[in-house]
């Protein structure tokens, strides 16, 4: 029996959605910023700990400052949302809790994960402290550039969406 | 602003290739950093502190400038939304190019390969047939080429865009069907959003030599890729066959079982259609 799940990457402009997508799927990274228009979709087949194969169909969407501007049809029928913010730009996470509320309200069954990206550009200890002060809760801090925590994050997500 | 101009600007905004766009930013940054570096040389002896700041500024440019420029671009698009609908049809063509160009190329390579393999036998067969009917080789070739043909079928879950089943009488599975299913769904969503309220569904997409016929059901849709002349008669026959298939052969259970659905699809459409 074929196992497929839809995962959507969301967040502001330039936070690294496409970079995480490329890092996870093709293990590539580039410093160039090529803005995403619309959406791009790719598949990654993940081998699960129990031996099953999961096709993760990942939608890499264009960034929006306001989550409500995200095209509604892209969000439908998802199994998980990955909300990405940029650890170097507070603008990209100061509305985090409102954005998450919006998503949970409209998509109550969808698993939501929060990633703080560009970990390589900041001091981890200081950042954790700052996030705590602002009451921002990230499930994972990653660097698409160095690959830190990227593969582990997606493996855990794979297990969670198939549980 | 003239409608014509609005449309032109919008098209430029929407259709500039990612690469071109990124390159133009890179160029600007490069020019800027050249100027800064020149100034830096001059200031070297004068003020080492300014020097540091300049260095930092140059380093920061790609990080800070990138998102700002993007933001401007997106805002422009947002502000021209009424023109979006007008300009929609020419854009759809381009979007599809960007989305499925590669996948379609694989598909068509595949068909070409198959056609080549069958070629010598086909020619012999055609000659024999032509002689028997008293018409020329060429005429038969033309009718052959124009004949609409089902190349691939996708059954896709409407909301998620996840592929439920597929059938390809010709190609042997080199294209990533999961990806095409997702992208067709994204295009459908894009178009249907733009006609919001009109309750319009996207029915066909034309792509180079292919027509993608789309038929909606409650929780899924069927997309059929057709080569050759997709005419009204063919469309009606295909539509009827798909409806008949969905009505009499598909139950809720099949939607949850890809294998079952695929087998039914294959069995049904093997003998149907030209
Ligand atoms: N240092 C560093 N740079 C990163 C990282 N992730 C992304 N970037 C850079 O940040 C810029 C934007 O990255 P993208 O992945 O294109 O961002 P995005 O979220 O897809 O942007 P939109 O498509 O416009 O929404 C690029 O120049 C990337 O190279 C990271 O982990 N570390
Ligand atoms: Mg992107």
pLDDT band at B228 (very low <50, low <70, confident <90, very high): confident
Q: What tokens does A127 get?
A: 């950042």
Could you give phi then psi for residue A129, rounded to 5 degrees? -65, -45
Structure token pair of residue B226: 């057709």
The residue-averaged pLDDT of B244-250 equals 85
Whether the CB of A36 sits within 6 Å of ligand 1: yes
The pLDDT of residue A148: 97
> Does residue B68 register a pLDDT over 90?
no
The answer to whether B204 touches B112, Cβ cutoff 8 Å, is no
Distance A19 CA to ligand 1 centre (A): 5
Question: Tell me: the pLDDT tens digits for A61-82?
Answer: 988 888 998 888 899 999 999 9
Domain count, chain B: 3
Strand order in the sheet with B204-207: B163-167, B149-157, B220-227, B210-216, B204-207
- Residue B52 CA, chain-centre distance (Å), reads 48
DSSP structural state of residue A55: E
Helix boundaries (H) for B134-257: 137-146, 177-194, 232-249, 252-255
Question: Of the candidates B62, B71, B162, which has its C-beta nearest A4's C-beta?
Answer: B162
Q: Tell me, what's the pLDDT at A1?
A: 59
CATH code where residue A87 lies:
3.40.50.300
- Whether chain A has a CB inside 8 Å of the CB on B201: the answer is no
**Is the minimum distance from the CB of A22 to ligand 1 under 6 angstroms?**
no
**Which of A17, A115, A66 lies closest to B71 in space, CA to CA?**
A66
Structural domain of B26: 3-66
Bigger pLDDT: B265 or B125? Answer: B265
Mean pLDDT of the region A128-142:
94
Q: Does one domain contain both B30 and B15? A: yes
**Is the pTM higher than 0.80?**
no
pLDDT at B134 over 80: no
Q: Distance between CA atoms of A72 and B196, rounded to whole angstroms?
A: 12
Pocket test for ligand 1, best of B21, B23, B70, B75 (most atoms within 8 A of CB): B70
Percent of chain A with pLDDT over 70: 99
Query: Any bridge partners for residue A47, and if so which?
Result: A53
At residue B227 the predicted structure's pLDDT band, cuts being 50, 70 and 90, is confident
Within this chain, do residues B250 and B195 fall inside the same structural domain, yes or no? yes
Same domain, B197 and B103: no
Q: Report residue A33 as tokens.
A: 């910023």
Range of the domain at A135: 2-161
Q: How many domains does chain A have?
A: 1
Beta-bridge mates of residue A115: A84, A140
Considering only CB atoms, B183 lies closest to which of A41, A71, A76, namely A41
Do both B129 and B61 map to the same domain?
no
Examine residue B111 and state whether it is found in any structural domain, yes or no: yes
**Does a structural domain hold residue B77?**
no
What band does A96 get if pLDDT is binned at 50, 70 and 90? very high
User: How many of the other CB atoms lie within 10 Å of CB of B203?
Assistant: 12
């Amino acid at each position: 029996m074929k196992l497929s799940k839809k995962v959507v990457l969301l967040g502001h402009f330039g936070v690294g959605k496409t970079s995480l997508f490329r890092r996870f799927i093709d293990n590539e990274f580039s410093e160039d910023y090529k803005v995403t228009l619309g959406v791009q979709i790719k598949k990654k087949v993940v081998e699960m700990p129990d031996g099953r194969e999961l096709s993760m169909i990942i939608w890499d969407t264009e960034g929006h400052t306001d989550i409500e501007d995200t095209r509604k049809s892209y969000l439908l029928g998802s199994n998980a949302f990955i909300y990405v913010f940029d650890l170097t730009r507070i603008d990209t996470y100061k509305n985090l809790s409102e954005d998450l509320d919006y998503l949970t309200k409209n998509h109550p069954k969808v698993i939501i994960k929060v990633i703080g990206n560009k970990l390589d550009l900041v001091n981890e200890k200081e950042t954790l402290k700052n996030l705590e002060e602002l009451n921002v809760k990230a499930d994972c801090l990653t660097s698409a550039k160095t690959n830190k925590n990227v593969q582990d994050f997606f493996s855990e997500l794979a297990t969670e969406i198939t549980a | 602003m003239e409608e014509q101009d609005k449309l032109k600007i919008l098209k430029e905004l929407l259709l500039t290739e990612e690469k071109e766009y990124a390159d133009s930013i890179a160029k600007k940054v490069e020019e800027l950093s050249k100027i800064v570096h020149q100034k830096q040389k001059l200031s070297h002896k004068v003020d080492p502190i300014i020097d540091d700041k300049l260095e930092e500024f140059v380093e920061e440019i790609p990080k800070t400038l990138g998102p700002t420029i993007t933001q401007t671009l997106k805002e422009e698009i947002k502000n021209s939304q009424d023109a979006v609908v007008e300009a929609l049809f020419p854009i759809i063509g381009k979007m599809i190019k960007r989305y499925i160009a590669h996948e379609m190329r694989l598909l068509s390579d595949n068909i070409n390969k198959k056609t080549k393999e069958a070629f010598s036998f086909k020619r012999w067969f055609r000659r024999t047939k032509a002689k028997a009917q008293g018409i020329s080789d060429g005429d038969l070739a033309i009718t052959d080429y124009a004949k609409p043909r089902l190349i691939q079928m996708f059954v896709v879950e409407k909301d998620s865009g996840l592929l439920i089943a597929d059938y390809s009488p010709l190609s042997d599975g080199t294209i990533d069907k999961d990806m095409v299913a997702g992208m067709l769904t994204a295009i459908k969503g894009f178009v249907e959003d733009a006609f919001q309220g009109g309750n319009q569904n996207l029915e066909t997409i034309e792509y180079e030599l292919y027509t993608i016929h789309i038929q909606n059901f409650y929780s899924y849709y069927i997309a059929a890729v057709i080569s050759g002349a997709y005419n009204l008669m063919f469309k009606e026959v295909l539509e009827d066959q798909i409806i008949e298939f969905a009505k009499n052969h598909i139950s809720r259970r099949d939607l949850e079982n890809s294998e079952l659905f695929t087998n039914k699809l294959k069995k049904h459409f093997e003998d149907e259609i030209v």
